[in-house]
A = this chain, B = another copy of it.
Amino acid sequence: MSVEQVEESDQFAPRFDSNGLIPCITLDSNTRQVLMFAMMNREALQLTIETGLAHYWSRSRGKLWKKGETSGMVQQVKRMLIDDDQDCVVIEVGLTPPVGGGQEASCHVGYRSCFYREVPIGRKSEKPIQLTFIETGKAFDPVAVYGDTPNPTRL
């Protein structure tokens, strides 16, 4: 395929990186917040398209990850978009409350969105930069929802 075909045509030709992954940006279809950023492998992308439920590839756990399989916070895909060179997708999703109680959300830390902190703009970054929490509070209690499941974050 040529660059022109990939960029200008209506042929779906997703491009996976050297690890077989394509990045996915997940947007809340109601609030238009960015909820999360994760990777999909070919199977996760195909399952997302076929079922209309978000599937990812968990790099920390090394396995296919149907969003909500532990928490109940499944994501219903309202729309999927792909970018110019077809190496990134956006999904616009509806949210589901966790089965362990709480409000509809996406982030394992307990917030609606993973992007719950703001970085101040327009200042010299010599001093440590202090983040501001932009969500009013957690949507659910992560212990009640995830129990003993290990935190997926790897530093």
Interface size class for chain A? Answer: 35 or more
The answer on a CB contact under 8 Å between B119 and A49 is yes
**Given B10, B80, B128, which contacts A121 in the complex, CB threshold below 8 Å?**
B80
User: When A25-B37, A124-B50 are in contact, do A12 and B131 touch as well, CB less than 8 Å?
Assistant: yes
Are B79 and A153 within 8 A (Cβ)?
A: no
Question: A99 contacts the other chain (Cβ, under 8 Å)?
Answer: no
| Chain B residues with CB below 8 A from A119, complex form | 12, 49, 80-82, 89
Distance, CA A36 to CA B82, complexed state (A): 10
A70-81 interface mask toward B, CB cutoff 8 Å, 1 = contact, 0 = none? 000000011111
A-B contact pairs, 24 of them (CB 8 A): A2-B155, A6-B155, A11-B128, A12-B129, A25-B25, A34-B81, A36-B83, A48-B121, A49-B119, A49-B121, A50-B123, A50-B124, A78-B121, A80-B118, A81-B118, A81-B119, A81-B134, A82-B115, A82-B119, A83-B114, A83-B115, A84-B108, A84-B109, A88-B114
Chain A residues with a Cβ under 8 A of chain B? 1-3, 6-12, 15, 23, 25, 27, 32, 34, 36-37, 46, 48-52, 77-85, 88-90, 107-109, 111, 114-125, 128-134, 151, 153-155
Task: Return the 10 tightest CB-CB contacts between A and B, nearest first.
Answer: A32-B32, A12-B129, A81-B115, A80-B119, A83-B114, A85-B153, A37-B88, A10-B131, A84-B114, A52-B122
